[in-house]
Amino acid sequence: MGKNIYLFCSQGMSTSLLAQKMQTVADHHQLPVTVVAKPHGTLPQTVATEAVDVIMLGPQVKYLYEETLAAYGKRRPVILIDAADYGAMNGERVLKQALLGLKQARQ
Amino acid sequence: MMNALEHTLMPVAEKLGRNKLLVAIRDGFLITTPLIIVASLFLLFNNFPIPGWSEFWAGIFGEGWQAWLSNVSRAVFNLVGFLSCFGTAYAYGRELKTDAIQAAGVAIVAFIILTPTDLTLKGGTSIIGLDTEYLGTNGIFLGLVVALVAVRVYAFAALRGWTIKMPAGVPPAVADSFAALIPSGLVMGLFFLIRIGMGLTPFGTVHQFIFESLQTPLKGAGNTLFAQIIYGLACTLFWSFGINGPAVANSVFAPVTKVLTMENLDAFEAGRELPNIFTDPFSNFFTNFGGGGSTLSLLIVMVLFCKSKRIKELGKLSLLPGIFGINEPIIFGLPVVLNPIILIPFNLVPLMNLLLSTLVTRLGIIPYTTGVALPWTTPVGFSGYLATGSWVASVYQLLLLLLGCAVYYPFIKMLDKKYLADEQVAGASLDETDELSFDDLALDLDAEA
């Protein structure tokens, strides 16, 4: 079974662009990964109903990081996306961060 | 100074983002907004701003075709207060981790308990029915208040497990089916008493009380240029530190701008004079183009006049999202965030747009917005026409966009020069993340299983 990476920002608009780029990179390298973008408001519901392996927050909601980490960080990595990578919509770097988080969580 | 400002703004955003009441109101409107947009399309079709439009369709469908479409728009607009109550109650129930749909159900019942159900017809006959006067725009604030109170009470009782105890031997599923009884009973009993109590005061109904003591004063305060300047500055100031400004500011301003917008929409539907300047479409389509900071102007200058590779690449990447009002690539990529050069026009251009748009609207050069709700992603040019029904507004939008380019020009050129110099000195630098290979990050899924 592959891993599900969830990206959250306020409305899920710009993160959907980044998610698309990350998915392209993942597919290119044949990594068993699904990248999904959603509005932050749907986080509790998403975690309750779907298999969320990594939570990544866009920099525009960095003020929600602590809260999200406290609520959901025990069972999966919660990562704040680097602002420069986010701005450049660098799918490869953000995907690497996600996979790195997964790897560290396993150790 | 930037540091001090960031240390003040972050906790504000955090507090507002964590406040369950404000989150519930904001997310509640997210539930009603799509409905309002769809209903607006029906209304727009009904009143499309082209001469002869109505007669053309009457020729095909016969007189009275508009009544069919009005039915759809009325189904939303005349119930918008009621729907706000439902949406906010659901969102608040979710925030309080109680049974959200049950809580929303009891909240709309509480809303109706407060609403007069005896109507007197013109002839003097009395019938039982609901006057949409109470359920529409005038009921928005009441809807919010009822939702918050009802769900709070419901959750209080439900989370304490106040329920009817069944004797041992009764199947657990049967006992569960009574779980909502006592919480619902408490809410309905409470609103029953509120209704009776308010009947003894000069206000007569809670609708009247909330409308006069909360909705009208707050609306009046929001419908001023001063309030709009505060709102606009709050949006760009939060973005200056990388925080989604409107997401923060709307948690406070949304109820008021919603009322202002719906009042125009009601008037537009009824063919009355439009009452308010400062509606949602006004602030979405006449103060910012291409996202907060009116960055579409910036983007145009970036693409046309900048020479550094960094800015040119970013411009190409951001152009398409930018046309639809999504500008995070610029905000974090240029970056705008904490960039002392760009922050000046980033905060000034929307302010200039707001002042000029208010002026030309007051002068009657562009009409008031009809309140017709469009997705905020609607591109410039189209949005001006659809929001006001006048081509003049589209032309005005484009002029304002160009004026914004002129303001951004000297600032972005300064940055461009700096990046150009950097690029000539240094090659690309790689850091740890770049050097990671996907092989190092292999997911070892087999090992795990």
Q: Nearest-CA distance from B138 to chain A in Å?
A: 27
Q: Which of A1, A2, A17 is opposite residue B321, by nearest beta carbon?
A: A17
Residues B164 and B84 in one domain: yes
Note whether residue B257 is domain-resident: no
Question: B433 CB near a chain A CB, below 8 Å?
Answer: yes
> Domain span at residue B346?
266-423
**Cβ within 8 Å, pair A87-B436:** no
Q: Measured between CB atoms, which of A58, A87, A100 is closest to B333?
A: A87
Q: What is the CATH number of domain A3-106?
A: 3.40.50.2300
Asked if residue B217 and residue B272 are part of one domain, the reply reads: no
Q: Do A61 and B17 touch (CB under 8 A)?
A: yes
Determine the Cα–Cα distance for residues B381 and B289; give it in Å rounded to an integer: 10
Say yes or no to pLDDT of A43 above 90.
no
d(CA B430, CA B433): 8
Closest CB to A63 among B17, B23, B314 = B17
| Residue ranges, chain B, pLDDT below 70 | 1-2, 426-430, 432, 440-449
- Residue B415 inside a domain? The answer is yes
Cβ neighbours for B92, distance < 8 A, ≥ 6 positions apart: B20, B21, B24, B28, B103, B147, B148, B151, B152
User: Is A11 among the catalytic positions?
Assistant: no
Same domain, B76 and B207: yes
Question: Would the CB atoms of B328 and A10 count as touching at under 8 Å?
Answer: no
B215 and B333 share one domain? no
Judged by CB atoms closer than 8 Å, whether chains meet at A31 and B438 is answered as: yes
| Single-letter amino acid, residue A96 | K
B184 lies in the same domain as B307:
no
Chain A touched by B219 (CB under 8 Å): no
pLDDT of residue B362: 94
Is B14–A83 a contact, with Cβ atoms under 8 angstroms apart?
no
Please name every residue paired with A79 in a beta bridge, in sequence order, or none if there are none: A56
pLDDT in tens, B94-120: 889 888 999 999 999 999 999 988 888
CA–CA separation, B152 and B157 (whole Å): 9
Kindly name the residue from A5, A6, A7, A9 that is annotated as catalytic.
A9
Q: Is the residue at B352 inside a domain?
A: yes
Residues whose CB falls within 8 Å of the CB of residue B90, separated by 6 or more in sequence, listed in order: B28, B31, B100, B101, B103, B104
* B127 occurs within a structural domain: yes
Query: Please, are residues B299 and B290 in contact by the beta-carbon 8 Å criterion?
Result: yes
Chain A neighbours among B 239-268 (CB < 8 Å)?
239, 242-244, 247
Query: Are residues B49 and B97 in contact, defined by beta-carbon separation less than 8 angstroms?
Result: no
> Least CA distance to A12: which residue of chain B?
B326
Looking at per-residue pLDDT, the higher value among B261 and A45 belongs to B261
Q: Are residues B205 and B306 in the same domain?
A: no
Q: Hey, where are the domains in chain A?
A: 3-106
Q: Are residues B36 and B143 in the same domain?
A: yes
Q: How many domains is chain B partitioned into structurally?
A: 2
Nearest 10 degrees: Cα torsion B127, B133, B135, B138: -150
Which member of A58, A89, A93 has the closest CB to residue B434? A93
Q: Are residues B213 and B337 in the same domain?
A: no
Considering B194, B222, B250, which residue would you say is the last residue of a domain?
B222
B422 touches chain A (CB under 8 A): no
Q: Is A70 an interface residue toward B (CB < 8 Å)? A: no
Q: Tell me, yes or no, whether B183 and B291 share the same domain.
A: no
Non-local (6+) Cβ contacts of B109 within 8 A are B187, B188
Taking the CA of residue B100 and the nearest CA in chain A, the distance in Å comes to 11
Q: Which tens digits make up the pLDDT trace of A50-106?
A: 999 999 999 888 888 888 899 898 889 999 999 889 988 899 999 999 999 988 887
A101: distance to nearest CA of chain B, Å?
10
Q: Nearest by CB to B332, from A17, A84, A106: name it.
A: A84
Q: Does some domain include residue B99? A: yes
pTM of structure:
0.80
CA–CA separation, B373 and A81 (whole Å): 33
A69 touches chain B (CB under 8 A): no
Nearest-Cα residue of chain A relative to residue B316? A88
B335 in reach of chain A (CB within 8 A): yes
Judged by a CB distance cut-off of 8 A, whether residue B94 touches chain A is: yes
Which chain B residues are Cβ-neighbours of A93 within 8 angstroms?
433-434
CA distance B288 to B354: 8
Please list, in sequence order, all residues whose beta carbon lies within 8 angstroms of the beta carbon of residue B124, skipping any fewer than 6 positions away.
none
Q: Do B283 and B403 fall within a single domain? A: yes
Regarding an ipTM greater than 0.85, the answer is no
Q: Using the beta-carbon criterion (under 8 Å), do B243 and A83 form an inter-chain contact? A: no
Token reading at B156: 């209080």
Give the contacts of B350 (CB within 8 A, at least 6 positions apart): B232, B235, B236, B287, B288, B292, B293, B294
Whether B329 and B382 map to the same domain: the answer is yes
Query: What's the confidence (pLDDT) of residue B1?
Result: 66
